[in-house]
Structure 1
Amino acid sequence: GHEDRVQCLAYSPDSKWLATASWDCTIILWDSDGQLVQEWIAHSGSVKSLAFSPDGQHLVSGGGDRRLVVWDVMPGIGTPKARILEEHTEELDRCAWSPDRTVIASRSKGGIVRLWDARTFQLLRLLDSSLKTDHRHDLLFSPDGRTRLATGAHGGVVRIWDVQTGEMLSASKRHMRAVLDVAFSSDGTRILSASEDKTVKICDASSGAMVLSLEGHTAPVNKACFSPCGEYVASVSADLTVRVWRTDDGSCIKALLEHKDPINAIAFSPDGKTLASGALNGTVVIRYMRDIVPVEGTDIPCGL
């Protein structure tokens, strides 16, 4: 496995592979049972972000070496073929692939977001320079493809951007401290934000009205995500716990204490069957949702 902190992880769209990235400069590809399938040195610095293409054929990574790299996914065959994009002048901390497969977004440590044509790998545009205030925090596309991009910021602010024009559509203060992560529900109607203030807020993605506040962590919430059908939210924290919450009433189903170091990454598999997390000591834990929630309440019957 990894020899340093796991910075991020991502499932392939078919749930067959889990990719994890680390400060040890490597990317590891695991199968659905947690067996290591492939490992390679991906960057000359730490690997800080990962995203699969919607068809699962490619994996994009951003690193401390200021490179954005698009990899061909070829499990078990040495180091995959790569295309390197080198427009950034600072290390990269986030990348994302639009659901319609046409755009890749990357963000540098200084907060500059670049949008790339995912077919030609040509730079399309930069988002407004005010994004520099969003240093360190997350970005992702809405599930509808190219309409919206969300970013979290210092000061507890979540911003929504128009991907086509680069214009800011809205900005709302949701937390008392910095936003560390943002995530849309799979239908795009809700958006969550995880914060240094130890809470996760779920809001209406259109109006910005708060729906739920998930409270229980005793340290900053580093990451959070919706389950594929939106029934649950999983969150991870510096308090060493993985928490699973219901989105209908905000109740915490389970608090899992399985890691020995602060947890920095969390993701549901697209089929809703597993939940993976990664910690600062390099460990990755994959667990079955059927062991966390009652069978009748799992996301598995989603049709995924």
Structure 2
Amino acid sequence: MGNKKTNKSEQTLEIHAKEMLSDYVTVVIWSPDGATLGVCSAAGEVMLVKVGAINELSLQPLQTATGKSTDCLSFSFDSQFVAAGGQDGKVRIWRVNSGELIANLDNQRVWVDKLAWSPNCNQLAFSMGRYVQVWNADDDIVEITLNFDSSSVLDLAWNPVVKYLAVSGYQGVKVWNGEDWDEDPHILSVPSVTNAVSWDTSGQYLACGNMDNTLIVNEWGNSEPWVMEGFPGKVRQLAWSNQNTLSGAPLLAASSSGNISVWEKQADENVGWEGLALEVHENVVNAIAFQPNTFLLASAAADGQVCLWYEAEQLLQILEGAEGGFSSLAWHPDGQFLVGGGCGGELLVWSKSMRAKGLGRL
């Protein structure tokens, strides 16, 4: 699978540093420039973290524990702003360099559990019940309120290339054109509920994870989507590699319950995408992510294991350190660090090992 094999010893990780938050880590995310790690918790904490030398993490609290969960966190494309939303219905935006709170948007008792900055401008989209609002940081205004209409918004994702915003929920996905918000959205119909959406890094493919145990891949401009079936439950997590296989398409990983499958597009259009099952986890997989510029896949689960899958095929290494399970993970933009969040508040950072290792436990 893929264009070239990477030496396995270059892929193994070792523990770099560890810290503790006061509750379940809901999100870990790196700023696009790789300078800052963002983390938030079910206690409401929001922190910026600088990763230093071995055993060094410098934590800057933006918000201390409030007793109400913070559930979503996102950095702006230029790493200038960070936004958080959660149980209290507020969307807060800070300047990353100074930690200054520059906006506090109140959504009046509506739980905000999805938000994302545009990958190419300072627009922030966030869920608000059946609606999505888009806030413009440059003008400090809500630019548009989009009505998903058929249900609460379950996920949203910006196209990384063109100004499209995909919003999912009951009966599928609506894709709005950010160049003209008044245009009717493009509708991708699903006979159940789409609870996860993800664009690949080229903006060509949109994956939809559905509650009827299916995965759908839409190639933009192609009216016939690919449908993958046979999952043990709803498809909860999606992740694309940022490099292509020999077929010219990226790999797509999907998780359902404790199972992971990796899908590779075949050269024969009639075959479509073929899947490979990765089975090690004994509990729900809460996060999956490809290391940038490789096919190394990381998976974090409630069984207390982070698994590294060499070429998204073979179990390479198992990382531990969160006895109550792992809730989240994120790769540094250059692939040097992997961070995992734990259900007990653990924040663990691993770095590339300089020593050759086989299968190991840390």
- What TM-score, normalized to structure 1? 0.79
Q: Which aligned pairs between 1:1-304 and structure 2 lie closer than 5 A?
A: 1-33=20-52, 34-41=56-63, 44=66, 45-74=68-97, 79-87=99-107, 89-108=109-128, 110=129, 112-120=131-139, 121-126=141-146, 128-132=148-152, 135=154, 138-147=155-164, 149=166, 161-164=174-177, 165-169=184-188, 171=190, 173-174=214-215, 175-186=231-242, 189-202=250-263, 209-247=273-311, 250-290=313-353
Note the C-alpha offset of 1:212. 3.7
Between 269-278 and 281-290, report the one with greater CA deviation: 281-290
Take 2:356 and 2:242, find their aligned partners in 1: how far apart are those partners? Answer: 20
- Does the C-alpha gap of structure 1 residues 53 and 225 become closer, same or farther in structure 2, counting only changes over 3 Å? same
- Does the C-alpha gap of structure 1 residues 162 and 189 become closer, same or farther in structure 2, counting only changes over 3 Å? farther
SS of 1:93's partner is coil
Relative to its length, the structure with more strand (as a share) is 2
Structure 1: stretches of 5+ with no match in the other structure: 295-304
Q: How many residues align?
A: 280
| C-alpha contact 1:103 1:117 (8 A) present in aligned 2 | yes
Take 2:114 and 2:335, find their aligned partners in 1: how far apart are those partners? Answer: 24
Between 221-230 and 110-119, report the one with greater CA deviation: 110-119
**Greater RCO (Cα-Cα under 8 Å, separation 6 or more):** 2
Take 2:350 and 2:100, find their aligned partners in 1: how far apart are those partners? Answer: 28
Take 2:292 and 2:242, find their aligned partners in 1: how far apart are those partners? Answer: 6
Q: Deviations over 1:61-99 (max 9, x none)?
A: 11111011111112xx5x522312224641111211121
SS of 1:276's partner is strand
Note the C-alpha offset of 1:201. 4.3
Take 1:163 and 1:129, find their aligned partners in 2: how far apart are those partners? Answer: 14
Note the C-alpha offset of 1:130. 3.5
Take 1:114 and 1:266, find their aligned partners in 2: how far apart are those partners? Answer: 27
What one-letter code is carried by the residue in structure 2 that aligns with 1:38? Q
- Does the C-alpha gap of structure 1 residues 281 and 17 become closer, same or farther in structure 2, counting only changes over 3 Å? same
| C-alpha contact 2:261 2:275 (8 A) present in aligned 1 | no
SS of 1:236's partner is strand
- Does the C-alpha gap of structure 1 residues 293 and 19 become closer, same or farther in structure 2, counting only changes over 3 Å? farther
Structure 2: stretches of 5+ with no match in the other structure: 1-19, 178-183, 191-207, 209-213, 216-230, 244-248, 358-362
- Does the C-alpha gap of structure 1 residues 201 and 43 become closer, same or farther in structure 2, counting only changes over 3 Å? farther
Q: Deviations over 1:160-192 (max 9, x none)?
A: 542315433364613331233233433684443
- What TM-score, normalized to structure 2? 0.67
| C-alpha contact 2:174 2:188 (8 A) present in aligned 1 | yes
- Does the C-alpha gap of structure 1 residues 63 and 148 become closer, same or farther in structure 2, counting only changes over 3 Å? closer
Take 1:111 and 1:180, find their aligned partners in 2: how far apart are those partners? Answer: 20
What one-letter code is carried by the residue in structure 1 that aligns with 2:90? R
Take 2:83 and 2:304, find their aligned partners in 1: how far apart are those partners? Answer: 28
Between 87-96 and 256-265, report the one with greater CA deviation: 87-96
| C-alpha contact 1:192 1:200 (8 A) present in aligned 2 | yes
| C-alpha contact 2:258 2:301 (8 A) present in aligned 1 | no
Note the C-alpha offset of 1:115. 3.5
What one-letter code is carried by the residue in structure 2 that aligns with 1:272? G
The aligned counterpart of 2:12 is none
| C-alpha contact 1:43 1:64 (8 A) present in aligned 2 | no
Take 1:215 and 1:13, find their aligned partners in 2: how far apart are those partners? Answer: 31
Take 1:186 and 1:103, find their aligned partners in 2: how far apart are those partners? Answer: 23
SS of 1:129's partner is coil
Take 1:114 and 1:179, find their aligned partners in 2: how far apart are those partners? Answer: 26
Note the C-alpha offset of 1:222. 0.7
- Does the C-alpha gap of structure 1 residues 111 and 125 become closer, same or farther in structure 2, counting only changes over 3 Å? closer
- Does the C-alpha gap of structure 1 residues 269 and 232 become closer, same or farther in structure 2, counting only changes over 3 Å? same
Relative to its length, the structure with more helix (as a share) is 1
Between 180-189 and 64-73, report the one with greater CA deviation: 180-189
C-alpha RMSD of the superposition: 3.1
| C-alpha contact 1:62 1:69 (8 A) present in aligned 2 | yes
Q: Deviations over 1:25-45 (max 9, x none)?
A: 211211123412311326842
Take 2:291 and 2:176, find their aligned partners in 1: how far apart are those partners? Answer: 25
| C-alpha contact 2:258 2:282 (8 A) present in aligned 1 | no
